[in-house]
Structure 1
Amino acid sequence: MNLTEKNRTTVGIYGQQYTIIGTESTSHIREVASIVDAKMREIRSNNPSLDTSKLAVLTAVNTVNEYLKLKEQYELLIKNFNN
């Protein structure tokens, strides 16, 4: 598949169906959706009174927080590797 080719994949996230269009493989898109769904369910289990909008925002905040921590760890590893 060429990089400009787009895949259309329908996934379920937290009981809703979404069609995601992107250049990543269908399996990658499904994996991302699965992780988002699991994270939303995890947060919901700890905060059962959250409405879906707040749950989605908290999921995004948690995910970006995890991303930034991993990015910092990666940068530290690269720095230590290059020294």
Structure 2
Amino acid sequence: MITADCGGSNNHRTRLWRWTLQRSASESGLKTELCQDPPGSSKWNKIEDRLLCHITRNWQDVPFESHEVVATLIGSTSTTTVHEVHA
């Protein structure tokens, strides 16, 4: 599975990227799934910048053994301001 934030769906770079991705998947024989990034995770959403330092501090020195571990670490992050983190 590939997640991506490609911007607008009708620009020429997005169409070329999708075409190239399809060609690569066809040549390799791999089943490829493309999903858009979830709402709020775009590079244009500045809340991500304000939370990332707190999230990474929370998971320092913890091995990522499963998706559940990562979701728990993100979900248990807290800040001194009113930002809430939900995973």
Task: Give the alignment's TM-score, normalised by structure 1.
Answer: 0.32
Task: Give the alignment's TM-score, normalised by structure 2.
Answer: 0.31
